[in-house]
Protein backbone atom coordinates (compact mmCIF):
# COMPACT_ATOMS: atom_id res chain seq x y z
CA UNK A 1 0.00 0.00 0.00
CA UNK A 2 1.66 3.24 -1.18
CA UNK A 3 -0.76 5.80 0.27
CA UNK A 4 1.07 7.07 3.36
CA UNK A 5 -1.76 9.49 4.14
CA UNK A 6 -4.31 6.68 3.89
CA UNK A 7 -2.35 4.58 6.38
CA UNK A 8 -2.18 7.58 8.74
CA UNK A 9 -5.96 8.04 8.56
CA UNK A 10 -6.57 4.30 9.03
CA UNK A 11 -4.38 4.36 12.15
CA UNK A 12 -6.22 7.38 13.54
CA UNK A 13 -9.64 5.85 12.99
CA UNK A 14 -8.68 2.36 14.21
CA UNK A 15 -7.25 3.73 17.43
CA UNK A 16 -9.75 6.50 18.12
CA UNK A 17 -12.90 4.62 17.16
CA UNK A 18 -11.76 1.44 18.93
CA UNK A 19 -11.29 3.10 22.32
CA UNK A 20 -14.40 5.24 21.80
CA UNK A 21 -16.48 2.12 21.11
CA UNK A 22 -15.28 0.70 24.41
CA UNK A 23 -16.37 3.90 26.10
CA UNK A 24 -19.79 3.81 24.45
CA UNK A 25 -20.32 0.20 25.54
CA UNK A 26 -19.54 1.11 29.15
CA UNK A 27 -21.84 4.14 29.07
CA UNK A 28 -24.65 2.07 27.54
CA UNK A 29 -24.29 -0.90 29.89
CA UNK A 30 -23.65 1.04 33.05
CA UNK A 31 -21.25 -0.48 35.54
CA UNK A 32 -19.06 -3.27 34.09
CA UNK A 33 -18.38 -6.23 36.38
CA UNK A 34 -14.78 -7.04 37.31
CA UNK A 35 -15.19 -10.56 35.95
CA UNK A 36 -16.27 -9.32 32.52
CA UNK A 37 -13.50 -6.72 32.43
CA UNK A 38 -11.04 -9.49 33.31
CA UNK A 39 -12.19 -11.59 30.36
CA UNK A 40 -11.97 -8.80 27.80
CA UNK A 41 -8.58 -7.56 29.06
CA UNK A 42 -7.27 -11.12 28.86
CA UNK A 43 -8.81 -11.46 25.41
CA UNK A 44 -7.02 -8.32 24.23
CA UNK A 45 -3.73 -9.66 25.58
CA UNK A 46 -4.25 -13.01 23.87
CA UNK A 47 -4.98 -11.36 20.53
CA UNK A 48 -1.81 -9.27 20.77
CA UNK A 49 0.33 -12.31 21.64
CA UNK A 50 -1.14 -14.13 18.67
CA UNK A 51 -0.45 -11.37 16.16
CA UNK A 52 3.12 -10.90 17.38
CA UNK A 53 3.96 -14.61 17.30
CA UNK A 54 2.11 -15.62 14.13
CA UNK A 55 2.32 -12.49 11.95
CA UNK A 56 4.82 -9.79 12.92
CA UNK A 57 7.84 -11.88 13.92
CA UNK A 58 7.47 -14.54 11.17
CA UNK A 59 7.20 -11.75 8.58
CA UNK A 60 10.32 -10.03 9.95
CA UNK A 61 12.28 -13.29 9.84
CA UNK A 62 11.12 -13.99 6.29
CA UNK A 63 12.22 -10.71 4.69
CA UNK A 64 15.63 -10.26 6.37
CA UNK A 65 18.26 -12.16 8.40
CA UNK A 66 17.14 -13.08 11.91
CA UNK A 67 19.43 -10.51 13.54
CA UNK A 68 17.38 -7.58 12.22
CA UNK A 69 14.10 -8.86 13.60
CA UNK A 70 15.66 -9.72 16.95
CA UNK A 71 17.36 -6.33 17.25
CA UNK A 72 14.00 -4.67 16.67
CA UNK A 73 12.24 -7.03 19.10
CA UNK A 74 14.68 -6.39 21.95
CA UNK A 75 14.88 -2.68 21.17
CA UNK A 76 11.11 -2.32 21.18
CA UNK A 77 10.75 -3.99 24.57
CA UNK A 78 13.59 -1.96 26.10
CA UNK A 79 12.44 1.42 24.78
CA UNK A 80 8.83 0.91 25.87
CA UNK A 81 10.02 -0.25 29.31
CA UNK A 82 12.04 2.97 29.66
CA UNK A 83 9.06 5.08 28.55
CA UNK A 84 6.93 3.16 31.05
CA UNK A 85 9.15 4.45 33.85
CA UNK A 86 7.92 7.97 33.11
CA UNK A 87 4.23 7.09 33.01
CA UNK A 88 2.82 8.21 36.36
CA UNK A 89 1.71 5.30 38.54
CA UNK A 90 -0.14 6.27 41.67
CA UNK A 91 -0.55 4.16 44.79
CA UNK A 92 -1.22 6.98 47.23
CA UNK A 93 -4.39 6.93 49.29
CA UNK A 94 -6.91 9.65 48.45
CA UNK A 95 -9.51 10.29 51.12
CA UNK A 96 -12.23 11.35 48.68
CA UNK A 97 -13.48 8.25 46.84
CA UNK A 98 -14.63 10.30 43.86
CA UNK A 99 -11.22 11.96 43.54
CA UNK A 100 -9.54 8.55 43.74
CA UNK A 101 -11.56 7.24 40.80
CA UNK A 102 -10.89 10.41 38.79
CA UNK A 103 -7.15 10.21 39.39
CA UNK A 104 -7.06 6.52 38.49
CA UNK A 105 -8.93 7.17 35.24
CA UNK A 106 -6.64 10.03 34.24
CA UNK A 107 -3.47 8.06 34.96
CA UNK A 108 -4.78 5.07 33.02
CA UNK A 109 -5.66 7.33 30.08
CA UNK A 110 -2.13 8.79 30.06
CA UNK A 111 -0.57 5.34 30.06
CA UNK A 112 -2.79 3.98 27.29
CA UNK A 113 -2.21 7.11 25.20
CA UNK A 114 1.53 6.43 25.25
CA UNK A 115 0.93 2.77 24.47
CA UNK A 116 -1.10 3.65 21.37
CA UNK A 117 2.00 4.74 19.43
CA UNK A 118 3.76 1.34 19.18
CA UNK A 119 0.44 -0.28 18.31
CA UNK A 120 0.17 2.14 15.40
CA UNK A 121 3.78 1.40 14.47
CA UNK A 122 2.80 -2.24 14.02
CA UNK A 123 -0.09 -1.24 11.74
CA UNK A 124 2.09 1.03 9.60
CA UNK A 125 4.94 -1.47 9.27
CA UNK A 126 2.41 -4.15 8.33
CA UNK A 127 0.99 -1.99 5.53
CA UNK A 128 4.57 -1.60 4.28
CA UNK A 129 4.59 -5.40 3.88
CA UNK A 130 1.23 -5.51 2.10
CA UNK A 131 -2.46 -4.69 2.34
CA UNK A 132 -3.44 -8.13 3.64
CA UNK A 133 -1.22 -7.98 6.73
CA UNK A 134 -1.98 -4.30 7.20
CA UNK A 135 -5.74 -4.79 7.35
CA UNK A 136 -5.35 -7.84 9.60
CA UNK A 137 -3.40 -5.74 12.09
CA UNK A 138 -5.89 -2.89 11.81
CA UNK A 139 -8.81 -5.18 12.67
CA UNK A 140 -6.94 -6.80 15.56
CA UNK A 141 -5.73 -3.48 16.99
CA UNK A 142 -9.24 -2.05 16.80
CA UNK A 143 -10.57 -5.06 18.71
CA UNK A 144 -7.99 -4.77 21.46
CA UNK A 145 -8.61 -1.01 21.84
CA UNK A 146 -12.22 -1.70 22.88
CA UNK A 147 -11.40 -3.08 26.36
CA UNK A 148 -8.92 -0.25 26.83
CA UNK A 149 -11.73 2.24 26.23
CA UNK A 150 -13.94 0.38 28.69
CA UNK A 151 -11.17 0.35 31.31
CA UNK A 152 -10.74 4.13 31.02
CA UNK A 153 -14.43 5.02 31.01
CA UNK A 154 -15.50 3.26 34.20
CA UNK A 155 -13.26 5.18 36.68
CA UNK A 156 -13.79 8.51 34.87
CA UNK A 157 -17.58 8.21 35.17
CA UNK A 158 -17.25 7.25 38.83
CA UNK A 159 -14.96 10.25 39.25
CA UNK A 160 -17.69 12.64 38.11
CA UNK A 161 -16.67 13.26 34.48
CA UNK A 162 -19.68 13.71 32.19
CA UNK A 163 -20.52 11.00 29.66
CA UNK A 164 -19.85 13.30 26.72
CA UNK A 165 -16.38 14.34 27.91
CA UNK A 166 -15.53 10.75 28.76
CA UNK A 167 -16.41 9.55 25.26
CA UNK A 168 -14.34 12.35 23.70
CA UNK A 169 -11.46 11.42 26.00
CA UNK A 170 -11.53 7.77 24.96
CA UNK A 171 -11.39 8.83 21.30
CA UNK A 172 -8.36 11.07 21.93
CA UNK A 173 -6.50 8.29 23.76
CA UNK A 174 -6.39 6.20 20.57
CA UNK A 175 -5.23 8.97 18.21
CA UNK A 176 -1.44 8.47 18.69
CA UNK A 177 -1.97 5.18 16.89
CA UNK A 178 -2.24 7.24 13.69
CA UNK A 179 1.17 8.84 14.29
CA UNK A 180 2.67 5.42 14.95
CA UNK A 181 1.13 4.09 11.73
CA UNK A 182 2.63 7.00 9.78
CA UNK A 183 6.12 6.37 11.20
CA UNK A 184 5.79 2.62 10.65
CA UNK A 185 4.84 2.81 6.98
CA UNK A 186 7.57 5.38 6.20
CA UNK A 187 10.38 3.52 7.99
CA UNK A 188 9.16 0.17 6.72
CA UNK A 189 9.20 1.44 3.15
CA UNK A 190 12.92 2.30 3.15
CA UNK A 191 14.26 -1.24 2.73
CA UNK A 192 13.61 -4.85 3.70
CA UNK A 193 16.08 -4.49 6.57
CA UNK A 194 14.44 -1.42 8.11
CA UNK A 195 11.07 -3.11 7.64
CA UNK A 196 12.28 -6.17 9.56
CA UNK A 197 13.55 -3.94 12.36
CA UNK A 198 10.26 -1.99 12.42
CA UNK A 199 8.20 -5.19 12.58
CA UNK A 200 10.44 -6.56 15.33
CA UNK A 201 10.28 -3.27 17.24
CA UNK A 202 6.50 -3.23 17.09
CA UNK A 203 6.41 -6.86 18.22
CA UNK A 204 8.71 -6.21 21.17
CA UNK A 205 6.74 -3.15 22.24
CA UNK A 206 3.45 -5.03 22.02
CA UNK A 207 4.80 -8.00 23.97
CA UNK A 208 5.99 -5.68 26.74
CA UNK A 209 2.63 -3.90 26.92
CA UNK A 210 0.80 -7.23 26.97
CA UNK A 211 2.98 -8.87 29.62
CA UNK A 212 3.39 -5.77 31.79
CA UNK A 213 -0.11 -4.28 31.59
CA UNK A 214 -2.90 -6.22 29.89
CA UNK A 215 -2.35 -9.68 31.38
CA UNK A 216 -1.53 -8.50 34.95
CA UNK A 217 -4.56 -6.17 34.88
CA UNK A 218 -6.73 -9.03 33.64
CA UNK A 219 -5.63 -11.28 36.50
CA UNK A 220 -6.04 -8.45 39.02
CA UNK A 221 -9.75 -8.26 38.08
CA UNK A 222 -10.12 -12.02 37.68
CA UNK A 223 -12.81 -14.17 39.24
CA UNK A 224 -11.50 -17.73 39.16
CA UNK A 225 -9.95 -18.44 35.78
CA UNK A 226 -11.77 -15.73 33.81
CA UNK A 227 -8.54 -13.99 32.76
CA UNK A 228 -6.97 -17.24 31.59
CA UNK A 229 -10.04 -18.15 29.53
CA UNK A 230 -9.98 -14.67 27.98
CA UNK A 231 -6.29 -14.99 27.05
CA UNK A 232 -6.77 -18.40 25.44
CA UNK A 233 -9.83 -17.17 23.53
CA UNK A 234 -7.88 -14.14 22.32
CA UNK A 235 -5.03 -16.28 21.01
CA UNK A 236 -7.49 -18.53 19.17
CA UNK A 237 -9.33 -15.59 17.60
CA UNK A 238 -6.01 -14.03 16.60
CA UNK A 239 -4.95 -17.24 14.85
CA UNK A 240 -8.29 -17.46 13.03
CA UNK A 241 -8.04 -13.84 11.86
CA UNK A 242 -4.43 -14.32 10.74
CA UNK A 243 -5.22 -17.45 8.75
CA UNK A 244 -8.56 -16.50 7.18
CA UNK A 245 -8.66 -12.76 6.48
CA UNK A 246 -7.23 -11.96 3.06
CA UNK A 247 -7.51 -8.80 0.96
The per-residue pLDDT for range 90-133, each reduced to its tens digit, is 444 444 667 776 776 787 787 778 778 888 888 898 898 888 88
Count other Cβ atoms within 10 Å, centred on residue 233. Answer: 16
At residue 16 the predicted structure's pLDDT band, cuts being 50, 70 and 90, is very high
Residue-level pLDDT at 156: 84
What is the pLDDT of the chain when averaged over all its residues?
83
Q: How many residues are present in the chain?
A: 247
User: Which of residues 59 and 105 earns the better pLDDT score?
Assistant: 59
Cα 87–Cα 92–Cα 94 angle in degrees, nearest 5: 120
How many structural domains is the chain composed of?
A: 1
Residue-level pLDDT at 9: 93
Task: Answer yes or no: is pLDDT of 31 > 80.
Answer: no
Residue 44 lies in domain: 4-244
- Most confident among 29-33, 101-105, 170-174 (mean pLDDT): 170-174
Alpha-carbon distance values, 190 to 31, 129, 183 (Å): 47, 11, 11
| Mean pLDDT of the 163-177 span | 92
Amino acid sequence: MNGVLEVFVIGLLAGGLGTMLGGLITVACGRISRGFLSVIMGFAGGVMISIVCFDLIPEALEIAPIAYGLIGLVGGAIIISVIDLYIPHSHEVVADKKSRYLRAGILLAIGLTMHSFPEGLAVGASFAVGMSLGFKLTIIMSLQKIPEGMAITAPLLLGGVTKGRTIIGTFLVGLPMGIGALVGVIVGGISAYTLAVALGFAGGAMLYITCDSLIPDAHACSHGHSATFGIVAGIIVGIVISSTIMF
